[in-house]
Amino acid sequence: MFRVGMWGLAALMTALVLSGCANKGRLAPFDDHSIGAARSSNRVLPGAENAGKPGYYTVKPGDTLIRIGMDHGQSGRDIARWNKLDNPNLIEAGQVLRVVPPAPEAPLARASASTGSAAAPMPVASAPAAAAPIPAPSAAEDAISFQWPARGNLISGFDESKNKGLDIGGKAGDPVLAAADGRVVYAGAGLRGYGNLIILKHNNTYLTAYAHNQALLVKEDQVIKRGQKIAEMGSSDADQVKLHFEIRRQGKPVDPAKYLSAN
């Protein structure tokens, strides 16, 4: 029995060797690549030390800087600049981003001798610039007057969970107008579900968004006046011609019908 067992063991070892040769060049179940992937999943992502702090946001799967900017009342470009992102299109789930402007850096302290001669500037020891506190909206900012961005029938109203704005019907090519003075912080088609989109920033409190256009008539950083034609109505990324219009107060969608003037 012992001798047969030894021969059986030898045959098994031979089979394993032959199997290894046959699979040469293919990845084994526990190869270096699998180990590397496991290690990379445990690495510390940029900004992790700021997770949970006011003024910072932890990226979720599917996020884009455009979406994050809209949700925090900021320009995606500003967020990229504050976080020193070389490629704004490369952000990872779990990464922590500053979503409010950094606080001003500490001033330099100047020591002067008793004779009154100026000494070399001495930097004040301080921690890295923190996120500036989110300012409370001022009465002037809250008093901004918005006009209707298009003339047409109201297709659907605001619903906090289902529809974050108003849908206004019309014909392809109908004018889309700026609801208030502002600056273009986004013009493009990079946000899924919105088609050709324009986002205007009006002040530190309010953004407006204009979606599903067939043509965009303004560029990023352009200063816009209330009532100015900024786009042509269309059906991009939509099932019919319409304007989807949002007002966001500090990034949170609010019912535009409560803010729009009666004209």
The answer to whether the CB of 165 falls within 8 A of the CB of 256 is yes
Whole-angstrom distance, CA of residue 17 vs CA of residue 40:
32
Of the pLDDT bands very low, low, confident and very high (cuts 50, 70, 90), residue 238 is: very high
Q: What is the pLDDT of residues 98-133, one digit of tens each?
A: 999 987 754 444 444 444 444 444 444 444 455 555
φ/ψ (deg, to 5) at 80? -60, -40
- Look at residue 159 and tell me if it is in a domain: yes
CATH number of the domain bearing residue 244: 2.70.70.10
Q: Which CATH number does the domain housing residue 90 bear? A: 3.10.350.10
Inter-residue contact 166 to 257 (CB < 8 Å): yes
Name the least confident of 83-87, 144-148, 209-213, 259-263.
Answer: 259-263
pLDDT at 262: 53
Mean pLDDT of the chain: 79
pLDDT at position 230 is 98
The verdict on residue 225 lying in a domain is yes
SS (H, E, C) the chain: CHHHHHHHHHHHHHHHHHHHHHCCCCCCCCCHHHHHHHHHHCCCCCCHHHCCCCCEEECCCCCCHHHHHHHHCCCHHHHHHHCCCCCCCCCCCCCEEECCCECCCCCEEEEECCCCCEEEEEECCCCCCCECCCCCCCHHHHCCCECCCCCCCEEECCECCCECCEEEECCCCCEEECCCCEEEEEEECCCCCCCEEEEEECCCCEEEEEEEECEECCCCCCEECCCCEEEECECCCCCCCEEEEEEEECCEEECHHHCECCC
Contact 37/216 with Cβ under 8 angstroms?
Answer: no
| Average pLDDT of the segment spanning 53-59 | 93
Q: How high is the pLDDT of residue 261?
A: 73
My answer on whether 153 and 205 are in the same domain is yes
What pLDDT, on the 0 to 100 scale, is given for residue 231?
Answer: 98
Give the pLDDT of residue 137: 57
Residue 37 lies in a domain: no
| Count of other CB atoms within 10 angstroms of residue 45 | 14
Mean pLDDT of 10-33: 41
| Domain-embedded: residue 83 | yes
For residue 155, tell me if it sits in a domain: yes
What's the structural domain count of the chain?
2
Residue 77 inside a domain? The answer is yes
**85 and 149 share a domain?**
no
Which residues form the domain of 85?
Answer: 48-98
Beta bridge partners of 57: 97
Q: Are residues 81 and 146 in the same domain?
A: no
Residues 171, 232 contacting (CB under 8 angstroms): no
What pLDDT sits at residue 133? 52
Q: pTM of whole model > 0.85?
A: no
